[in-house]
Amino acid sequence: MPGPSAEFVERVLAVVEAIPPGHVMSYGDVAAAIGSRAARGVGQVMAHAGAEVPWWRVVRASGEPPVGHEARAAEHYEAEGTPLRRTAAGGIRVRLDAARWHG
DNA sequence: TGGGTGACTAAGT
DNA sequence: CACTTAGCCACCC
């Protein structure tokens, strides 16, 4: 039987894997979906999860992908047709008004 | 038992 | 729009 901390991880991964292609959820949204407010805790889980989960479908409240993973995330967004918007700084950000998914 | 860290967030300047 | 501040909570020493 998994302990309580493992349960948090299981819940987070379950929600993330349920996000359909072309859609995203913010870290806070994922936390809320499992009855928590630990957005940073979700980030820690994702950082440890690896390539087994569609991590690029979890973005910040601003729609930007996690720091240091922008390029990799952009490839997936183009492949899935996720609605994007270009920033003045040359980066990209997901249009949450169109792509936000509610678990 | 206590303190630092971080793939966060909202509000203020 | 860029930057700062304070609040938040799970995880690791």
Q: How many residues does chain A have?
A: 103
CA distances from A26 to A4, A39, A53, A68 (A): 23, 8, 15, 17
Å separating the CA of residue A41 from the C1' of nucleotide B1: 22
Is strand C in 7 Å reach of the CB of A8?
yes
pLDDT digits (tens, 9 = 90+) for A72-92: 999 999 999 999 999 988 899
Domain-by-domain residue ranges, chain A? 4-99
Q: Topology of domain A4-99, per CATH?
A: Arc Repressor Mutant, subunit A (1.10.10)
Share the mean pLDDT of chain A: 94
Strands A84-86 and A92-94: antiparallel
Residue A85 has phi, psi (to 5 degrees) of: -145, 135
Q: How far is the CA of A61 from the C1' of B10 (A)?
A: 10
Could you tell me the pTM of the whole model? 0.94
| Residue A50 contacts residue A17 (beta carbons within 8 Å) | no
pLDDT of residue A39 exceeding 90: yes
- Range scoring the smallest mean pLDDT among A19-23, A57-61, A99-103: A99-103
CA-CA distance, A38 to A40, in Å (whole number)? Answer: 5
pLDDT given at position A1: 52
Whether pLDDT at A58 is above 60: yes
